[in-house]
Structure 1
Amino acid sequence: MERPDLPFPKVMLFDWHGTLVNTHEAMYQAIEEMLSQVDELDLVRHLRPEAEAKTKEDEKLLRYIRIFRHLHPRVLAEQRISRTDIFDALFGENEEANAIAHHAYNECYRNHYGKVYPFQDGVYDYLCYLKKLGIKIGVVTNRSREFLDHELAHIDNGRWKNLFDTSLCGNEARRYKPAPDPLIEAIESLDESVGKEVWYVGDSLTDMITASKADITSIFYNGALWDAEWFEYTFSVVDHDKHRPDHIVHSFDDLIDQVEAAQGPIDSSLTAQRPARLAPLQPPPPREEPDWHPALAKLTYPRVVLFDWHATLVDTLDAMYHAVDDMLKELRELGLLDHLVEPDHCKSPDDMRLVEYVRDNLSLHPKIKLDRKISRTDIFEILFADNQAAKQLAHQGFTKHYRKYYGTALPFEPKVKQVLEGLRGLGLTVGVITNRDREFFVHELNTIDGDGWADLFDTDICGDDTVKRKPHPDQVFKAADNLDIPLGADVWYVGDSTTDVIAAKSAGITSVFFNGALWDQPWLNKIFPGNERYPHKPDVVVNDFSEFWAMMLSCRRKHHEKLATDESQ
């Protein structure tokens, strides 16, 4: 990829963020805030069609932002991709949309900017050494002048302020990068000519495109520590092949080495002033996650995705807790008080305390109703364990009281409907399995979001459609019969309770635990111990629908890559 025979630079221009300095935290906060405004900014209509995305990553980013109006969790976690690259993926060369996006970003950035650090140790000393070699240096950035000047005044206690021979910001150029205008204008401000004796050092694909269009030398600063496979993939795409960097450097020591190689013999008095070499940059240590974390889970791409209803797709918690409490007041009349599980049969001390409180007070503990984390089905599982007859009576009692309260079902998250539509857009079969009785489910299904969601599901199985409810797998089996499909790992069941996990694993399908209640890791380990008595554990845990969608797209990509590999063999 690299072309190492480079001319000695008369001018070296640098990108700012991600190359010379680190302002990641403020930048990503501002992008997230700006993306939440794309509707009111009328930018949705300017988003590139996914079919026109330049790379698979761009396609995934587009689809994710189109649904959730914020960045993919992995992008936020890695903090490797620049603001300009994000906007290029979203809007391409649409100058109107880019101008609106950059202006909105600047408005948001005012709420977050301030902290700025050298991207690596010794940057100031390296820049001073370049000047001693007779090289004019400058900054060309899409950042606005007010932010650059503020950051120049504060970084390293202000000693960078008078370091550069020129600087040009995005709001000063005729067009933003990746248009070549900012580089050309900066070179002209130094009374120099455009050519290969001008180097542009940047950390992004956009920077390389900008340098290529300006017909100057492009140097990719790999501060994000992308591997060789990333470079080969990124610059092998047809539109990007002609913008391959002239050279890749992994540190400022590498950059100085390349400059010295281009110059030839250097006076020993100068080389003695070269900054001491520093240890190479190191990637952050890998995060340790449980094997059910989305980043680690080994999942089969689904043909069918089945969902629980309450506390997964919709929120009916107020009505549910009212009805459970009313039913618990009648435990004695229903003949269920004597069927409460014995303490030594409880899964955990917390379960034992719940049973004891119900036995003594015939109601739920106030903290349970305040936390709104545990489902009706899980409550009944804790109270009656494997006693199917007792659970059946409890569900009947609940149903009687639920008629007094039900009516309003709200989407559990604002973008749930778009996720369901997105799954169908991927060609997947989508269904619902719920312990809710059909009379309530049908009402909620047809009234949620005003127009209802009935057209989003290929099948729905309710608690009174089978003899046994979850955690028994009967409802899963009935869904498979309705869809005329075999059960296996390519059928996913997404639910928020231990009973959903048990039903899925008992049926031999993939269990996705939807942790909308945001249980912490110790609690998850407690409710899914994976021991002989309680062997069922989810295949993966997701905390919200944005994480679920990110996982789905990643799984889809791996699936298509495997298919392509298999076809080529």
Structure 2
Amino acid sequence: MKNVPLLPTPKTILFDWHGTLVDTQDAMITALTDTLQKIEELGLVERLLPESECKTKDDIKLVRYIRLFRKLHPKILLERRVSRTEIFNAIFGDDEEAKALAHRAYNKNYRTYFGKVKPFQEGVREYLFALKRLGLTIGVATNRSREFFDHEVRTVDDGSWPRLIDITTCADEVTLYKPDPQIIRYTLAQIDTYPRPETWYVGDSYQDMVTARNADVTAIFYNGGCWDQDYLQELFSANPKARPDAIINSLDELMDLLQEVQENAPTAFPKIVEKARPPYFPPPQPPLQHIEPDWHPSVASLTLPDLILFDWHATLVDTLDAMYHAVDDMLPELKKTGLLEQLVDSKLSKSPDDAKLVEYVKNYAQLHPKIKADRKISRTDIFEVLFGENLEAKKVAHSIFNLHYRNHFGTVLPFEAGVRQVLLGLRAIGLKVGMITNRDREFFEHEVKAVEAGTWANLFDVMVCGDDTPNRKPHPDQLIKAAAEMGFQPGKNVWYVGDSTTDVIAAKTGLFTSVFFNGAQWDQTWLHKIFPGNQRFPHQPDVVVNDFSEFWALTLACLRRGLKH
């Protein structure tokens, strides 16, 4: 804990609930996952905050990931340090109506899972008892609904907490959610007082600190997520009004703050803090970290590019909704078209997940729910899993898909904000830029004119579609054709940037440089699973980039080094 200015003597200490006093992450994450999978039908996709209005880089990634995949970013799932309120504030900004819709949907889902609750850190009950011995009024002001909070407070620590908490306010008892200060005002009104610095509000999030500041009470940031100092500096530097009066890493450090108050005001409390405080309990431990893949640009050594070819769907643009709708429509036709009998033997699948997909399609003629929930693989990858080396079966599958895609295609968004600027930048530094897609030309030509009001139509020096060559990816025909049209032979000086295993196979078998675009944010473990590099599945990317800022930095670094291999 850093030294802080002397704080006002508290009469009341209010706490946030989840992430401060208790851990309900398991139930929260599950309910959030269910909620995000339904944001399209809730009409909330179009109300996601534009990336240009996001506060931090992590918020940008979160908004983009939810827009594309309708689920939490893997970093959030692994580290488990942010609340649903923080997430809704990050992705909807000041759109109170959208946030209210999201909270209502979340509460409906949470009803299925709540009840799994435990103290956030060891010794919470003992610290609350110590605060009571010091004569302090203890309260909770939470965005939790009363239905859930009452059950949780009676459940945690065998029901020993209710006698330790004097006043509580839940989100469904006020008009607005935090960071509106109403919830603190309402809580204090229960003891006939009003917000002032002699009330401390202890919470674990940026929004909690804004709430405290808006209410004019003392803001204490509980660093239960074990964020490092650089992150905290970034978090609070943009908005001075959000800066906490103190940062604590454990409830033991809260007792330290109270002891400092008493040292300067000996009559602040009816008992001596040092004697009232419980034995030391350790702080929360840092969560697991999201591990970046080991094909990272920082360790890559690539040939200087003359031509950079890009995949279309899920690399340059987002057409996920239309693609999955069309796959849903075409799979029931597998039986009558004779394709059901041509599914690969699941025993020959690359991974257990691939085998499950084959068996599920064979039995139910639809995608496995996990595939639909993840929204991370393309129809080409799906067909590769289902039909393996059977080129004729894949051709038929693509043709059936196209019939159904015609009913859904049309809405096309850049995969990231600023993709067009990257493409323009590549051309400005003298590189040739091309596009490779398994889309039929009929669809691609419509989509390239639809994205960003037609401003992409002249960005590419060469464009090769699925029906322009005898074979589609993962066969390298399309890449070879594009390179030839630009006057190049297959070689490492031609980069192919794509998001799928199919793209990597096409690049490597064609002897091009493979840049895997990890827009789905797979971690290192998963990338090793889909690119095992063994005798049966030898193809691995030359480098992995997680977004276009990394790709741009990689390209510039390569140009500066001027590598030729």
Q: TM-score, normalised by structure 1?
A: 0.69
Counterparts of 1:482 and 1:161 in 2: how far apart (Å)?
74
Give the 3 Å change call, closer, same or farther, for CA 126–470 of structure 1 in structure 2: closer
Aligned to 1:159: 160
Instruction: Please show how residues 198-209 of structure 1 align to structure 2 within 5 Å.
Output: 198-209=199-210
Aligned to 1:189: 190
Amino acid at match of 1:279: P
In the alignment, structure 1 residue 507 sits paired with structure 2 residue 505: no
Counterparts of 1:508 and 1:557 in 2: how far apart (Å)?
16
Counterparts of 1:415 and 1:260 in 2: how far apart (Å)?
65
Aligned to 1:305: 310
Secondary structure of the 1:510 match is strand
Give the 3 Å change call, closer, same or farther, for CA 469–169 of structure 1 in structure 2: closer
Counterparts of 1:125 and 1:282 in 2: how far apart (Å)?
19
1:496-540 per-residue CA deviation (whole Å, 9 max, x = no partner) reads: 347325236x21242459999x997886565x13x8x98642246
Give the 3 Å change call, closer, same or farther, for CA 98–403 of structure 1 in structure 2: closer
Give the 3 Å change call, closer, same or farther, for CA 368–463 of structure 1 in structure 2: farther
Instruction: Please show how residues 31-46 of structure 1 align to structure 2 within 5 Å.
Output: 31-46=32-47
Secondary structure of the 1:124 match is helix
Amino acid at match of 2:248: V
Aligned to 1:25: 26
Give the 3 Å change call, closer, same or farther, for CA 421–107 of structure 1 in structure 2: same
In the TM superposition, what is the alpha-carbon distance from 1:12 to its structure 2 partner?
0.4
Q: Is the 8 A contact 1:165 1:190 kept in 2?
A: no
In the alignment, structure 1 residue 555 sits paired with structure 2 residue 555: no
1:199-246 per-residue CA deviation (whole Å, 9 max, x = no partner) reads: 000000000000011111100000100111111111122xx2221011
Amino acid at match of 1:422: F
Aligned to 1:344: none
Amino acid at match of 1:510: V
Counterparts of 1:277 and 1:404 in 2: how far apart (Å)?
64
Q: Is the 8 A contact 1:123 1:252 kept in 2?
A: yes
Q: For the pair shown, which has the larger CA radius of gyration, 1 or 2? A: 1
Aligned to 1:407: 400
Give the 3 Å change call, closer, same or farther, for CA 501–198 of structure 1 in structure 2: same
- Over aligned residues, Cα RMSD in angstroms? 4.9
Q: Which of these residues, 262, 276, 287, is aligned with residue 284 of structure 1?
A: 287
Give the 3 Å change call, closer, same or farther, for CA 277–482 of structure 1 in structure 2: farther
Counterparts of 2:552 and 2:32 in 1: how far apart (Å)?
25
Counterparts of 1:215 and 1:538 in 2: how far apart (Å)?
54
Amino acid at match of 2:153: L
Secondary structure of the 1:139 match is strand
Instruction: Please show how residues 300-339 of structure 1 align to structure 2 within 5 Å.
Output: 304-306=309-311, 318=334
Amino acid at match of 1:277: Y
Q: Is the 8 A contact 1:85 1:204 kept in 2?
A: yes
Give the 3 Å change call, closer, same or farther, for CA 180–512 of structure 1 in structure 2: closer
Equivalent pairs, count: 483
* Sequence identity percentage: 37
Secondary structure of the 2:219 match is strand
Amino acid at match of 2:245: D
Larger CA deviation: 136-145 vs 366-375: 366-375
In the alignment, structure 1 residue 538 sits paired with structure 2 residue 541: yes
Instruction: Please show how residues 31-430 of structure 1 align to structure 2 within 5 Å.
Output: 31-237=32-238, 240-264=239-263, 271-286=274-289, 291-292=294-295, 304-306=309-311, 318=334, 370=362, 374=384, 379=389, 398=392, 406-409=399-402, 421-422=414-415, 426-427=419-420
Give the 3 Å change call, closer, same or farther, for CA 257–125 of structure 1 in structure 2: same
Secondary structure of the 1:4 match is coil
Q: Is the 8 A contact 1:43 1:97 kept in 2?
A: yes
Counterparts of 1:417 and 1:524 in 2: how far apart (Å)?
31
Counterparts of 1:87 and 1:9 in 2: how far apart (Å)?
31
Q: Is the 8 A contact 2:518 2:547 kept in 1?
A: no
Q: Is the 8 A contact 2:514 2:543 kept in 1?
A: no
Q: Is the 8 A contact 1:308 1:495 kept in 2?
A: no
1:384-443 per-residue CA deviation (whole Å, 9 max, x = no partner) reads: xxxxxxxxxxx6xx49x957994334899x999878642586216696647x8xxxx64x
In the TM superposition, what is the alpha-carbon distance from 1:128 to its structure 2 partner?
0.4
Aligned to 2:442: 446
Q: Is the 8 A contact 1:218 1:245 kept in 2?
A: yes
Counterparts of 1:489 and 1:246 in 2: how far apart (Å)?
55
In the TM superposition, what is the alpha-carbon distance from 1:168 to its structure 2 partner?
0.6
1:36-90 per-residue CA deviation (whole Å, 9 max, x = no partner) reads: 3334333345433332222333233223323333322222222212211122223
Counterparts of 2:14 and 2:207 in 1: how far apart (Å)?
15
Structure 2 unmatched ranges of 5 or more: 315-319, 350-357, 364-381, 424-432, 452-456, 558-565
Structure 1 unmatched ranges of 5 or more: 329-348, 352-365, 381-394, 542-547, 563-569
Q: Is the 8 A contact 1:305 1:494 kept in 2?
A: no
Larger CA deviation: 1-10 vs 469-478: 469-478
Q: Is the 8 A contact 2:27 2:114 kept in 1?
A: yes
Aligned to 2:369: none
Q: Is the 8 A contact 2:499 2:516 kept in 1?
A: yes
Q: Is the 8 A contact 1:14 1:202 kept in 2?
A: yes
Q: Is the 8 A contact 1:477 1:507 kept in 2?
A: no
Aligned to 1:478: 481
Secondary structure of the 1:272 match is helix
Aligned to 1:565: none
Give the 3 Å change call, closer, same or farther, for CA 494–105 of structure 1 in structure 2: closer
Amino acid at match of 1:500: A
In the alignment, structure 1 residue 492 sits paired with structure 2 residue 497: yes
In the TM superposition, what is the alpha-carbon distance from 1:263 to its structure 2 partner?
1.5
Amino acid at match of 1:492: V
Give the 3 Å change call, closer, same or farther, for CA 298–124 of structure 1 in structure 2: farther
Amino acid at match of 2:501: D
Secondary structure of the 2:189 match is helix
1:124-150 per-residue CA deviation (whole Å, 9 max, x = no partner) reads: 000100111111110000111111100
Counterparts of 2:133 and 2:111 in 1: how far apart (Å)?
36
Aligned to 1:346: none
